[in-house]
């Protein structure tokens, strides 16, 4: 049983990484009007490296933070998650709190709202670990924004970088007894550097290698 639990823990970052890669590819399809886009090997390589570095650094930061503070880490983690949940709804209310026009004529308004809540929870769960690659717009008929928004992208990574720094500082000052047999400061610096490397690969991909439907349609 211990072997299976250990294997599951080891496979979790890999599963998250694969999910993040799929999110990126699906976002490319959505932003190109759902046209089937073929990623070249170099483009796919950059996506894999970007997502792998992002997920690994985030997973390590969360694990070390939770292991150091134990139950004391729960309020901070819940705040991070529910901020991602509330952000689309705050924008929804700011835009006038109207459901998309396609749902306003639907008699089952409660079902529509529940569906949007579920979508928001899933969207927040993705953003908790990594960037979802699209922006959720509850007041829009298409739900997901197809436009490339560097502002949204930079804002997400800035907040997540700040969260990682806070978690690594907590890990350094509230280090668990016998948690690691190495320099805690060095581990924290490595985690931050890996996250910044992932962000750098993301910028390179979107700036130089982002596929356009004009020459990448299958």
36-49 pLDDT per residue, tens: 667 788 888 999 99
CB 98 within 8 A of CB 104: yes
Strands (E), 70-160: 135-136, 144-145
* Residue 176 vs residue 26, higher pLDDT: 26
The label of the residue with tokens 């953003």 reads 127
Report the percentage of the chain scoring pLDDT > 70: 79
- Average the pLDDT over 139-168 and give the result: 86
Residue pLDDT, tens place only, 84-143: 999 888 888 877 656 655 554 455 677 777 888 898 999 998 899 888 888 888 877 778
- Pairing mode of beta strands 135-136, 144-145: antiparallel
Q: Is the pLDDT of residue 80 over 70?
A: yes
Tokens of 158: 């800035």
155: nearest Cα among 214, 99, 87: 87
pLDDT at position 161 is 96
**Cβ-based neighbours of 106, under 8 Å, separated by 6 or more:** 112
pTM score, whole prediction: 0.82
* Residue 10 vs residue 25, higher pLDDT: 25
SS (H, E, C) 28-49: HHHHCCCCCECCCHHHHHHHHH
Please give the mean pLDDT across all residues of the chain.
Answer: 80
Q: Is the pLDDT of residue 198 over 90?
A: yes
Q: Is the pLDDT of residue 14 over 90?
A: no
Cα dihedral 190, 124, 35, 153, rounded to 10, equals: -50
């Amino acid at each position: 049983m211990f072997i299976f639990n250990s294997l599951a823990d080891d496979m979790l970052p890999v599963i998250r990484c694969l999910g993040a890669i799929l999110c990126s590819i699906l976002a490319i399809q959505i932003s190109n009007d759902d046209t089937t886009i073929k990623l070249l090997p170099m483009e796919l390589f950059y996506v894999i490296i970007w997502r792998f570095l992002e997920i690994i650094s985030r997973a390590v930061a969360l694990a070390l933070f939770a292991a150091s503070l134990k139950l004391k880490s729960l309020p901070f983690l819940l705040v991070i998650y529910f901020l991602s949940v509330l952000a689309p709804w705050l924008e929804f209310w700011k835009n006038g709190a109207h459901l998309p026009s396609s749902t306003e004529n639907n008699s089952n308004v409660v079902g529509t709202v529940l569906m949007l809540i579920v979508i928001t929870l899933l969207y927040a769960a993705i953003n908790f670990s990594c960037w979802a690659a699209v922006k959720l717009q509850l007041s829009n008929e298409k739900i997901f924004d197809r436009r490339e928004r560097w502002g949204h992208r930079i804002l997400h990574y800035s907040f997540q970088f700040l969260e990682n720094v806070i978690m690594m500082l907590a890990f350094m000052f509230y280090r668990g007894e016998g948690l690691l047999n190495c320099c805690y400061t060095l581990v924290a610096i490595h985690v931050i550097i890996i996250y910044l490397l992932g962000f750098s690969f993301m910028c390179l991909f979107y700036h130089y290698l982002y596929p356009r439907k004009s020459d990448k349609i299958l």
